[in-house]
Amino acid sequence: MNSTSDFVKPALLFVGVVLVSAMSFLAGLLLASRFGSQPTVIEQISGSVDYPILTEVQGLIDSDFLGEIPDQTQQEYGMIRGMLTELGDPYTVFNEPVQAELNSDNLSGKFGGIGARLNFNEDGTAIIDPFRESPAARAGLVTGDMLIGVDGILLTPAMTPDDTVAMIRGEAGTVVMLVIQKEDGTQVEVSIEREEFEIPSVEWRMLDNTDIGILDIGRFSDRTSAEAEQGINELIAEGATKLIVDLRDNGGGLLNASVDVASHFLDGGPILLEEKRGAEDENIFEARGGGPALEIPVVVLMNGGTASASEILAGALRDRDRAALIGTTSFGKGSVQLVYQLSDGSSLNVTNAKWFTPKRAVIDGTGLAPNIVVDPGAGGSDLAQGDPWLEQAIQYFNNNS
């Protein structure tokens, strides 16, 4: 892939769902002045005035606007968002450095941190829930502790959850200083050395009192294929003769990861068809064969949060007659994004291709319809632990054994 600028690094193929605001904050109003002696933001970026109306408007803002004018970086970010909004594609998006770093961590499956989950109340208060035997737990933090400050910076309602998480994360071996408020109201300072943590994307377990294994895939990262293979092998070793692949609320991730996971279930043949900008022929992604779950009966659980990379897996298993889909209609995202890391740590997701199932079913905007529809309010038996999706999966296996 040729880069589009000197600052663009190699892109990742990303097919996850990105939620973006419909507002661009009128980015055209955030460009630089024509009235001052300083070069405008556009002149600094391009070396010339190629957008005269934007520059004219910024001049009027500089001369007449009552409020505080954003700095150059925020003006540039605003301009980018305004330009992307005009493309009319909700998945071509710009991520500021904080969000870009968190996205990268999630896709790589590793990050440096203190080993704790942050839960945010409606007022933005951050409540700590440390993992067992983590640096946070060893430092004396307990569930319910309130995070007040990080490295001398007090948290404010204006800070987003991503801002707070990014302040705590950092390179393994470095130290972060936290201000914690205990449940009795006392405040303490705690110094914690960060460690590297792996973010599991797959969990697995046997369904109690059955020969059914459950493989729960939360997202598709660099680690997902290996984790799924390990899970399948361990479930089969524990006696699983049937397999439930749970893709509920899986918003997607890396395209290649979903293709690799599909290869665990398919002995060769197509997984998806891709139509790419500038390519005359469609690209066919095929299973490599030799996976650990080529014969075991499979069902897939899905809902409205099942999107993109998870729809690729579900659609491939359905079209190749390897699995029945159980649940509700999936989200419906059938496009592929290139993720470019930019020079300042921000990133750009650019829609570059559309994909279809092996039988050329269109997913974008429609989603996958289940073979067996689940009523979310129906409930389930004790065996299904009250889960109507699991209830339908058990009944399906009983009827097709």
Encoded tokens for 203: 């969990």
Q: Looking at this protein, which amino acid is placed at residue 154?
A: L
**Residue 75 falls in which region: left (phi positive, over 0), alpha (psi -120 to 50) or beta:** alpha
Q: Which residue has the tokens 């502790």?
A: 145
Of the listed 134, 145, 201, 333, which one is catalytic? 333
Encoded tokens for 124: 């933005």
Side-chain-side CA neighbours of 221 within 13 Å: the count stands at 20
Is residue 94 within 8 A of residue 348, CB to CB? The reply is: yes
Q: Looking at this protein, which amino acid is placed at residue 232?
A: I
Distance CA 289, CA 309 (A): 19
Is residue 246 within 8 A of residue 215, CB to CB? The reply is: yes
- 319 labelled catalytic: yes
Cβ partners under 8 Å of residue 373, min gap 6:
327, 328
Cross-strand partners of 119:
127
Distance CA 328, CA 307 (A): 12
Of the listed 105, 216, 319, 387, which one is catalytic? 319
Per DSSP, the three-state class of 315 is helix
Is residue 363 within 8 A of residue 356, CB to CB? The reply is: yes
Q: What is the DSSP string of 229-249?
A: HHHHHHHHHTT-SEEEEE-TT
Cβ partners under 8 Å of residue 198, min gap 6:
109, 110, 223
- 308 labelled catalytic: yes
- 333 labelled catalytic: yes
Tell me how crowded residue 79 is: count the other CB atoms within 10 A of its CB: 24
Q: Looking at this protein, which amino acid is placed at residue 324?
A: A
Q: Which residue has the tokens 């592929």?
A: 336
Maximum alpha-carbon separation in the chain: 79
Q: Which residue has the tokens 């190629």?
A: 50
Encoded tokens for 64: 């007449």
Of the listed 225, 308, 310, 335, which one is catalytic? 308
DSSP assigned state of 326:
E
Catalytic residues, which ones? 308, 319, 333
